[in-house]
Chain A
């Protein structure tokens, strides 16, 4: 058993003269003095120790009446009496304690080591801090909302369990000049996160790192270098509307608005749509909805309620070459496909551009053509609705879903043969 010294990394929190504060309490006008005749001092006071290390402590009694001895004194740790074989009487007024292979502290305020008189009264106490130094934090990730701020998250080393209060400090500085700054708003998106709300520069790289400190030491993460423009995210697209496409039982039209905070900068925004049947947890995702604010979902089940969400990735903002960061999904919006006896196949793609009436050059031309036909060719049944029904019929009868970009196959003009309304 080691001779009476705490572990190599131990630090005592405070070492004042132990009796002075008690005297202060008595002198400063307290109406009644304490009745405890015996007092004692534990040494060391509030040591800090590594897990697995040993501790030698003493309890020295100052008795009144004189002649108080250490006989009958005993120790408790966190309220549990320690076995007598761990203690020994050093001299008439001092009881020693030897603890080996200490476990991590049970609470962050410190383990309570208490010296008791024979009658169980408390003579003195000392708080032990047993733990580990922090390990290097890692996995720092950061994002900027609309280029206005920066939020970073990290993973503490050793899964965060040091058994001691460990302080994490996110630091940042401009790479080539400037002083170190310390983030001040912690725990914004979880326990190991920090938010820098303002005064951030664009087009110049920042260096970001995390410092972890506790009573047993400190550790520093690797430095992350980034430009704010490379980690921009934004709000979900607002005003998401989902509506039926006429009577088409397997299609829904989705429209949204470009996120307003970045609308003047979103030259290359990407969008993603996901949708699911009302009572399902499986989402289908439509990727590559590039830089447009509408989409038609096709191949849906008729007479079914669908929930739809949209999100935005403002990649390429101000010329950034990085992938960008997806926004959160918009609030779910629901709509139902018209009811039909014929089930439709599943699908997962947007309809080609121009899938909406009066949008896109092809449909505009088609509309004009149909209008002309009605006037000159006495085809009174012609309408966009009929055209859409024909398209739906075409989808069902083809195996592959590689539709051309809204261009009608040559030779197929006029009224479509398809399912009747």
Chain B
């Protein structure tokens, strides 16, 4: 996005010019947040597999990619969508993640009660996903493109479904947690990539 030049005598141009720096600043901030969370999400994934035991951390480990109620991975065609549509999908996914991360944290509180760092990371991830999702929605609203993607605010049924999946046994609960942590990592990375296309060129 390039900065529009406007005349200071033109009141409308004044408004546009005065709003743009704020919007650009917001975009930069949100992009920086997404970049930071991408790194945190990778760390969370590493810490998660470490405490589930092998084969979770082994290369080539490939559990069934069961769908998680209320959320899917970014579609292969995501990058080909218009940018506002991509950002809407990003925001919707980020809104769907916190209750799933909470379910995972509750499971891990039973399975790994003596690993407070993992529990803390899961709690932080839920909070961070919420914050990033809200920031992306703010950017969308400022761009006049606010609308939710196909996933609505997660309902109690969604979280209950995730909890029920883990009630099937400890191994499925571990797999679910891996899946959710993986989805979190994929979506924050996807959001960072989409926002990078909005970030104005040049120094902040």
How far in angstroms is the closest Cβ of chain A from B85? 15
CB-CB under 8 A from B167, the residues of chain A are 14, 16, 21
Known contacts A21-B165, A109-B111, A111-B53; is-contact A33 B67 (Cβ 8 Å): yes
Q: A401 to B102, alpha carbons, bound, how many Å?
A: 71
Interface membership of A233, Cβ < 8 A: no
How far in angstroms is the closest Cβ of chain A from B17? 42
Q: Are A122 and B64 in contact (CB under 8 A)?
A: yes
Q: A388 to B63, alpha carbons, bound, how many Å?
A: 85
Known contacts A25-B161, A109-B111; is-contact A121 B168 (Cβ 8 Å): no
Interface membership of B4, Cβ < 8 A: no
Q: Per a CB cutoff under 8 Å, which of B53, B72, B165, B166 touches A31?
A: B72
Q: Are A107 and B51 in contact (CB under 8 A)?
A: yes
Q: A412 to B112, alpha carbons, bound, how many Å?
A: 78
Q: Are A13 and B164 in contact (CB under 8 A)?
A: no
Q: A114 to B161, alpha carbons, bound, how many Å?
A: 23
Q: Are B67 and A110 in contact (CB under 8 A)?
A: no
- Determine the main DSSP class of A at the interface with B: loop
How far in angstroms is the closest Cβ of chain B from A224? 25
Q: Are B69 and A126 in contact (CB under 8 A)?
A: no
CB-CB under 8 A from B175, the residues of chain A are 125
Q: Which of B7-15, B19-27, B54-62, B196-204 is near enough to bind chain A?
A: B54-62
| Per-residue B-contact encoding for A106-127, CB less than 8 Å = 1, 0 else | 1111111110000001101111
Q: Are A34 and B170 in contact (CB under 8 A)?
A: no
Q: Are A30 and B72 in contact (CB under 8 A)?
A: yes
CB-CB under 8 A from A110, the residues of chain B are 53, 111, 170
Interface membership of B84, Cβ < 8 A: no
Closest residue on chain B to residue A124 by CB atoms: B171
How far in angstroms is the closest Cβ of chain A from B191? 18
| Per-residue B-contact encoding for A17-49, CB less than 8 Å = 1, 0 else | 010111011101111111110000010011000
CB-CB under 8 A from B165, the residues of chain A are 21-22, 24-25
Interface membership of B169, Cβ < 8 A: yes
| Per-residue A-contact encoding for B163-189, CB less than 8 Å = 1, 0 else | 011111111101100000000000000
Interface membership of B66, Cβ < 8 A: yes
CB-CB under 8 A from B65, the residues of chain A are 34-35
Interface membership of A333, Cβ < 8 A: no
CB-CB under 8 A from A79, the residues of chain B are 53-55, 58, 61
Interface membership of A218, Cβ < 8 A: no
- Determine the main DSSP class of B at the interface with A: loop
Interface membership of A272, Cβ < 8 A: no
How far in angstroms is the closest Cβ of chain B from A278? 40
CB-CB under 8 A from B46, the residues of chain A are none
Q: Are B169 and A46 in contact (CB under 8 A)?
A: yes
Interface membership of A165, Cβ < 8 A: yes
Q: Per a CB cutoff under 8 Å, which of A24, A33, A36, A112 touches B56?
A: A112
With most chain A CB atoms within 10 A of its CB, the pick from B72, B150, B164, B165 is B164
Q: Are B54 and A78 in contact (CB under 8 A)?
A: yes
Q: A322 to B61, alpha carbons, bound, how many Å?
A: 61
How far in angstroms is the closest Cβ of chain B from A160? 12
Closest residue on chain B to residue A107 by CB atoms: B53
Interface membership of A76, Cβ < 8 A: yes
Q: Per a CB cutoff under 8 Å, which of B55, B112, B166, B172 touches A78?
A: B55
Q: A33 to B69, alpha carbons, bound, how many Å?
A: 10
Interface membership of B146, Cβ < 8 A: no
CB-CB under 8 A from A112, the residues of chain B are 52-56, 171, 174
Q: Are B64 and A18 in contact (CB under 8 A)?
A: no
CB-CB under 8 A from B56, the residues of chain A are 112
Interface membership of B157, Cβ < 8 A: yes
CB-CB under 8 A from B98, the residues of chain A are none
Closest residue on chain A to residue B157 by CB atoms: A28
Q: Are B69 and A29 in contact (CB under 8 A)?
A: yes
Interface membership of B32, Cβ < 8 A: no
With most chain A CB atoms within 10 A of its CB, the pick from B55, B68, B168 is B168
Give me the interface of A with B, judged by CB distance under 8 Å: 13-14, 16, 18, 20-22, 24-26, 28-36, 42, 45-46, 76, 78-80, 106-114, 121-122, 124-127, 165
List 6 contacting pairs A-B, 8 Å CB cutoff, sorted by A: A25-B161, A28-B158, A29-B158, A79-B55, A79-B58, A125-B175
| Apart from the given pairs A22-B168, A25-B69, A109-B112, 6 other A-B contacts in the complex at a CB distance below 8 Å | A25-B161, A25-B165, A34-B65, A79-B53, A112-B52, A113-B171
